[in-house]
């Protein structure tokens, strides 16, 4: 009779640690929360999917399950560090160039909660880019004041969707950015490794060798790429000379000549940087330039508002995350303004043509005589009102044309009577 061999199961190792992610029980609970988050259809696409193409060709492709789970686990871990609801934190997250970003309002709320006191703010009397803030915190252990100053010109970002685009929002944005920078300077442990999209733009510009180029010059990345094509490769750092201690020299003297170890090979120059630009910087610059060129072409060919809006989708994700430098943003703004002016001109010309037909007693083709603007124009003429007084009709070319058509129809009716 054969004896049964018992199955020996490996003993499970349980780790107790004050750090949540290193504690076995807490780690498993965080993983369960991350699993629910990764499966939820309400989780932001930036955490669980990747985007390919632009505009109408834009496709959202789900990531592999392991990647989705890992991204969500990072969010859960950060939320646990802050003592916040992980699902609420996830709604304020985005991924930019492989880094996890958090919205400024979330960061400001975390700082207030973690510091245990409220920072004081003072504003100057200047206007425009000179308008600034002073962030005042509690003194340090030595009694030294901890104060940070900043202005709109130093911190603002631009773009169609920039939070700094409205002057009325500058005070709030100064508070958000000033609070973050104050903590990075005086309490760095609270925000270790946490960035917001506008801060990421600043970091990219510094890593690329300086601030964004003026609008009158080509983008900095393009200029650097052109120079790199003509200039020889330059090292970002001098080769490190091996340091040999006295003991090592003595050992080398005692070794016979035939048994000496070969001399260390000379270090090869690193090709990672060219004129201060990393390979990733150059790749990003090529991508950004291609996107802007595509937008300029699409905007130049747009003949309607709908086509111009479709062109804007080409740059939407880049502008939302403040990835373009000043020169590229100026090019986008210029192309959009030119296209908008041309479309507005064409709309006015069409409206004038319809008005001319109405004045000649011809009913414009496709006119909607039940439209509120048409009826208001008809009523205004009956009441001897010669101007359109409703802004929603006056400022919209199509509605204004209908108002004038109704006004002209009433004039013809009065003349016939």
Share of the chain above pLDDT 90, in %: 14
pLDDT per position as a tens digit, 202-240: 555 555 544 433 333 433 333 333 343 344 333 333 333
pLDDT per position as a tens digit, 307-328: 888 888 888 778 767 788 778 8
Q: What is the Cα–Cα distance from 73 to 294, expressed in whole angstroms?
A: 37
3-state secondary structure of 99: strand
Least confident of 177-186, 343-352, 404-413: 343-352
pLDDT at 194: 59
Per DSSP, the residues of 308-360 read: HHHHHTTTHHHHHTT-S-HHHHHHHHHHHHHHHHHHHHHHHHHHHHHHHHHHT
Nearest to 38 by CA among 47, 29, 30, 46: 47
- For 103-197, CATH number out of 3.30.1380, 2.40.50, 3.90.550, 3.30.160 equals 3.30.160
pLDDT per position as a tens digit, 246-299: 333 433 344 444 444 444 444 444 445 555 567 777 778 888 888 888 888 888
- On average, the pLDDT of the chain sits at 75
Torsion of CA 361, 365, 370, 373, to 10 degrees: -70
pLDDT per position as a tens digit, 30-89: 999 999 999 998 998 889 888 777 667 778 888 999 999 999 999 999 898 888 899 999
- List helix spans (H) across 127-232: 152-155, 170-186, 197-207, 220-230
Listed in sequence order, the residues at least 6 apart from 16 whose beta carbon sits closer than 8 Å to its beta carbon are 23, 24
Phi then psi dihedrals of residue 244, to 5 deg: -110, 125
Question: Any idea where the domains of the chain sit in the sequence?
Answer: 13-101, 103-197, 211-230+275-349, 361-416
Q: What is the Cα–Cα distance from 34 to 78, expressed in whole angstroms?
A: 12
pLDDT per position as a tens digit, 173-200: 898 888 888 888 888 777 765 555 555 5
Give me the residue label for tokens 């030595």.
142
Give me the residue label for tokens 């890992």.
70
pLDDT at 18: 73
Q: What is the Cα–Cα distance from 128 to 348, expressed in whole angstroms?
A: 34
């Amino acid at each position: 009779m054969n004896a049964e061999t018992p199955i020996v199961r490996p003993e499970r190792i349980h780790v107790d640690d004050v750090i949540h992610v290193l504690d076995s029980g807490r780690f498993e609970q965080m993983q369960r929360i991350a699993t629910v988050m990764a499966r939820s259809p309400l989780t932001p696409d930036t955490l669980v999917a990747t985007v390919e193409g632009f505009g109408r060709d834009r496709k959202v492709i789900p990531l592999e399950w392991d990647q989705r789970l890992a991204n969500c686990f990072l969010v859960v871990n950060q939320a646990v560090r802050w003592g916040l609801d992980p699902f609420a934190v996830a709604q304020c997250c985005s991924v930019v160039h492989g880094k996890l970003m958090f919205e400024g309002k979330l960061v400001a709320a975390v700082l207030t909660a973690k510091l245990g006191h409220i920072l004081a703010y003072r504003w100057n009397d200047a206007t425009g880019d000179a308008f600034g803030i002073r962030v005042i915190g509690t003194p340090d252990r030595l009694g030294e004041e901890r104060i940070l100053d900043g202005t709109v010109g130093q911190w603002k970002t631009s773009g169609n969707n920039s939070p700094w685009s409205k002057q009325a929002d500058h005070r709030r944005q100064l508070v958000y950015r000033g609070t973050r920078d104050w903590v990075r300077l005086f309490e760095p442990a609270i925000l270790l490794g946490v960035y917001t999209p506008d801060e990421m733009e600043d970091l990219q510009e510094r890593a690329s060798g300086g601030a964004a180029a003026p609008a009158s010059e080509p983008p900095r990345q393009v200029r650097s790429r052109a120079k790199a094509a003509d200039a020889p490769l330059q090292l970002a750092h001098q080769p490190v000379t091996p340091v040999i201690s006295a003991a090592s020299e003595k050992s080398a003297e005692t070794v016979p000549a035939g048994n000496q170890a070969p001399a260390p090979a000379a270090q090869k120059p690193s090709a990672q940087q060219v004129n201060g630009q990393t390979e990733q910087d150059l790749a990003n610059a090529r991508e950004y330039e291609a996107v802007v060129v595509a937008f300029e072409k699409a905007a130049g060919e747009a003949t309607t508002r709908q086509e111009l809006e479709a062109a804007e989708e080409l740059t939407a994700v880049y502008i939302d995350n403040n990835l373009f430098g000043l020169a590229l943003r100026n090019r986008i703004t210029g192309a959009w303004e030119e296209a908008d002016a041309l479309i507005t001109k064409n709309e006015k010309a069409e409206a004038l043509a319809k008005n001319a037909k109405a004045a000649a007693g011809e009913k414009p083709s496709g006119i909607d005589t039940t439209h509120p603007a048409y009826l208001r124009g008809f009523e205004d003429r009956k009441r001897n009102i010669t101007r359109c007084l409703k802004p929603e009709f006056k400022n919209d070319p199509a509605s204004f044309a209908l108002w004038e058509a109704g006004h002209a129809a009433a004039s013809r009716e009065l003349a016939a009577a």
